[in-house]
Amino acid sequence: MKITTDACVFGAFAGHHFKTQIDFQPNRILDIGTGSGLLALMMAQYFNSQIDAVELDKAAYDQSKINFHHSKWANNISLFHSSIQNYSKIHSTKKYELIISNPPFFNNSFKPPNKKRLLARHTDKLSYTELLKIGQNLISEKGIFYILLPKIESNLLLQEVEETKLKLVGIVDIYPNPNKVANRVIFILSKKEYRTKLKDIYIKNTGNTYSRETIELLNGFYLYL
């Protein structure tokens, strides 16, 4: 599974936002569709919590299993080879203070020939309706649910949020640089009303160097930035 700058910025933002603006330590964290395990590992760096990572694709599951095993947070992370739909039925009594997901996307776009990329990048296996309902069922009463989507898909999720009991705490647009339009959106959802300070993220400056906010977010994760 390819690691993207967008995913790294998303994980760093979610961890930093929760740690600095939400006033409690999460006991349990859920990573929906862990892929390579990137987001689960980033959450492990932020919090001394039990993390459950769920992955449907066998190759991605095997990769994340290796990545978790070779990390110093192996004891904090439990990996499950399952669809999140089945997982949520079996573990329906679990409640999470923090849920994070970079889910399948491109709802109606042209589908690539590679089956693994198709599974990772389309909503056939996990619709936004299912994702939100599962999040609503598994999140604690004061928990936070972070979702990363392409900008072109954001209105679809907004429509679905209105049909749930989740509240939209905030939206953060991610821009490649100040001269381009936003291409990713972070949604912050909860059952509880939260007041948080949010601002959009510009990954790079106009001169194609990383912005100060990106450097500050990723400083603890990138060896060279």
Report pLDDT for 126.
77
Q: How confident is the model at residue 224 (pLDDT cuts 50, 70, 90)?
A: confident
Which domains, from first to last, does the chain contain? 5-218 (3.40.50.150)
Residue 107 has pLDDT above 70, yes or no: no
Instruction: Write down the pTM of the prediction.
Output: 0.90
In degrees and rounded to multiples of 5, residue 150 shows phi and psi of -65, 150
In Å, how far are 48, 69, 220 from 87, measured between CA atoms? 23, 22, 31
Name the token pair of 74: 């192996």
Q: Are 29 and 47 in contact (CB under 8 A)?
A: yes
- The pair of structure tokens assigned to 152 is 């072109």
**pLDDT (tens digit per residue) in 162-198:** 889 999 999 999 999 999 999 999 999 999 999 999 9
Q: In the chain, where do the E strands start and end?
A: 28-32, 50-55, 77-81, 96-101, 139-150, 167-175, 184-190, 201-202
The pLDDT, as a whole number, for residue 48 is 96
